[in-house]
Amino acid sequence: MRNMKKLFIGIMFIAVAGYGVLKATKATKEISPIVLANVEALALYEYGTTPYVLKCYKTLHCENTTVREEKVYCGNCTSTVCTHWSNESTCSKPK
């Protein structure tokens, strides 16, 4: 009889502890807007929808000389080989 009592108390203890764990894992908690924004920003970056921001130039002069350098044109955000550039800005290009 004594062993049955100990067994019953043990089973009840495990049941109460299991119920507490179940209730704790199902509890919904509010996420702050800042944390949510950070998670969304990281998710966007991970899946490749965040654009690259490139330094570009609004004015490029591309003459046929030996001294040329590759620069990004702001109009279409693509690189071009040119001799003179001015009006620095930025453009965004999808990944």
Q: What is the pLDDT of residues 30-89, one digit of tens each?
A: 777 777 777 776 665 555 555 678 888 999 888 777 778 888 888 888 888 888 889 998
Provide the domain limits for residue 60. Answer: 2-25+51-93
Q: Is residue 30 domain-resident?
A: no
Q: Is residue 45 domain-resident?
A: no
CA distances from 64 to 26, 36, 81 (A): 69, 52, 10
pLDDT of residue 48: 53
Q: Is residue 67 domain-resident?
A: yes
Q: Is residue 8 domain-resident?
A: yes
Residue 19 pLDDT exceeds 70: yes
pTM: 0.44
pLDDT of residue 26: 66
Distance CA 66, CA 55 (A): 24
Domains held by the chain: number: 1
Q: Is residue 77 domain-resident?
A: yes
Q: Is residue 63 domain-resident?
A: yes
Residue 28 pLDDT exceeds 70: no
Which residues lie across from 56 on neighbouring strands?
Answer: 89
3-class secondary structure for 24-85? HHHCCCCCCHHHHHHHHHHHHHHCCCCCEEEEEEEEEECCCCCCCEEEEECCCCEEEEECEE
Q: Is residue 36 domain-resident?
A: no
Question: Which 3 state secondary structure label does DSSP give 56?
Answer: strand
Q: Is residue 34 domain-resident?
A: no
